[in-house]
Amino acid sequence: MSKQHWSAAEKRRLRRDAAKLVIPHFASNAELAKEPKIFVRGKGCYVYDLDGRKYFDSFATLLTTVCGHVRSEVTRAVQRQMEMLEFFPNYVDAFTVPLIELARKLAELMPGELSVSFFVNSGSEANETAMKMARQYHVERGQPHRFKFIARQDSYHATTLGGGSVTGLTWFREYFEPLLPGCVFTKAARDCDRPAGMDSKTYGRRCLDELEKLILFEKPDSIAAMIMDPIPGSNTGYPLPPEGYLQGVRALADKYGFLLIFDEVQTGFGKTGKWFACEHWNVVPDIITIGKGFTGGFIPLGAAITTPKVADVFQKKPGHELRSGSTYGGHTTACAATLANLAIIEKEGLVENARRQGEYIRKVTQRLYDHPIVGEVNGIGLLWAIKLMADRQTKKSLDPKLGVGSWIRDWCYRRGMILRNNGDILILAPSLIITRKETDYLLGMVEQAIAAASRHFWKR
């Protein structure tokens, strides 16, 4: 058992060195100046900090721990693999048994014809790979002029330079211009943005018309692929697409001959109450990218999975192989851990649990509208977002300078719950093992926090 108690002096040193010797991902110097948070232990939906305080993690450890923390099944699988062969790279013509078994499992789980995997270490790399696959696919088919990518406003795909180029949020792009040439953006197409009085199907059609105009303006035979998340992630609060939108995008990709990439890094592996979000609309992309919950947070792993039609181009003849790779992509022990993670999801019926808890959350969150600052609640399965607003009718935002979302996050943290907020969007996205009792706890805590914020900021 590793160390569980630290003296006051050791804690001070750990906190000092954390802030001094490490640049955290997406760092907040303002938060760091208060005190770095250091976590030392986890179990199920809970983590414990350096002082032994216990927290319910309503963000599933950055949306990864579908099966919760510290699962003995995974620990045993990792130990077995470590003792046999911890790692051999998946390069040139070399494979390992867990990697092949994982590819088989993915072929079984994936919708449609998606069945051929390229393994990487993260969701970002999966998206980089998908983009490269799309470009090389067209080059190999004699259409090198197809180099552009269509992406969506407000989307998040990576902070790498390729993935960043198709990310539609300014914060991730602004210091790094010029990015990859030929990345163009269409409307986000969120049903919650639908004008009052317009039905969902009509709004979907309107978004598709705009997309088609963009395709024609850019010239259809210059487009390699469209990359999109069927349900955009926590950055924008899980807005669902309007009716017919995803089917329409698929039809446009087929009509104009570009590939469709679905980024399911955040939405895959049961989070929406189905294995993959795209299954809610029966739309299958040409490439799907995965990460996060795929490996359950145990050891990093991602993948870009494509159809035999696309993979054939790279697999058939010498000289046409996909020009991509890394040392650790498809790490042997990561594959063993991921197989164990997927086995738990299946054995414990976690996809069904996400669906069931999601239906309950849908009902219970209706009562949040009693609070005037709750503007919108969007989501599905175990991915939910509460958008705080100054005025629900006009959708007027709260004054960002007030920092209401962060105040609520801190209120919850002081009471033992980790809550992710993106400005005034509050995210509820726990592990798929969550019980009804824990769901009630989570919803109760958020509601109390919203009520406390209303009293604090508006004395109501």
Ligand X SMILES: Cc1ncc(COP(=O)(O)O)c(C=O)c1O
Judged by the rule CB under 6 A, the positions of this chain that interact with ligand X are 122-124, 127, 156-158, 229, 233, 263, 265-266, 291-292
How far from the centroid of its chain's Cα atoms is residue 169's Cα?
15
CA distance 261 to 127: 9
Nearer to ligand X, 229 or 438 (CB): 229
Burial of 132: CB neighbours in 10 Å, binned 0-12, 13-18, 19+: middle
CB of 241 to ligand X, least distance (A): 15
How far separated are the first and last CA of the chain, in Å rounded?
Answer: 49
CB of 207 to ligand X, least distance (A): 19
Task: List alpha helices for 85-231, DSSP H.
Answer: 97-109, 123-140, 161-165, 200-218
Angle between helices 436-458 and 350-364 (to 10 degrees): 40
Nearer to ligand X, 265 or 453 (CB): 265
Nearer to ligand X, 123 or 248 (CB): 123
CA distance 328 to 300: 10
Nearer to ligand X, 278 or 313 (CB): 278
Tokens of residue 431, six digits = 């592990």
Q: Which residues, in sequence order, are CB contacts of 410 under 8 Å at separation 6+?
A: none
CB of 427 to ligand X, least distance (A): 11
CB of 63 to ligand X, least distance (A): 7
CB of 250 to ligand X, least distance (A): 19
Tokens of residue 347, six digits = 């054995």
Q: Are 176 and 164 in contact (CB under 8 A)?
A: yes
CB of 196 to ligand X, least distance (A): 29
Nearer to ligand X, 227 or 434 (CB): 227
CA distance 152 to 169: 9
Q: Are 57 and 46 in contact (CB under 8 A)?
A: yes
Nearer to ligand X, 26 or 217 (CB): 26
CB of 54 to ligand X, least distance (A): 26
Question: Rounded to the nearest 5°, which phi and psi values hold at 444?
Answer: -65, -45
Largest CA distance in the chain: 71
CB of 124 to ligand X, least distance (A): 3
Residues forming beta bridges with residue 425, ordered by sequence position: 387, 422
The DSSP output letter for 69 is B
CA distance 351 to 344: 11
CB of 177 to ligand X, least distance (A): 20
Q: Are 133 and 118 in contact (CB under 8 A)?
A: yes
Nearer to ligand X, 154 or 447 (CB): 154
Nearer to ligand X, 123 or 270 (CB): 123
By beta carbon distance, the residue nearest ligand X is 123
Nearer to ligand X, 127 or 307 (CB): 127
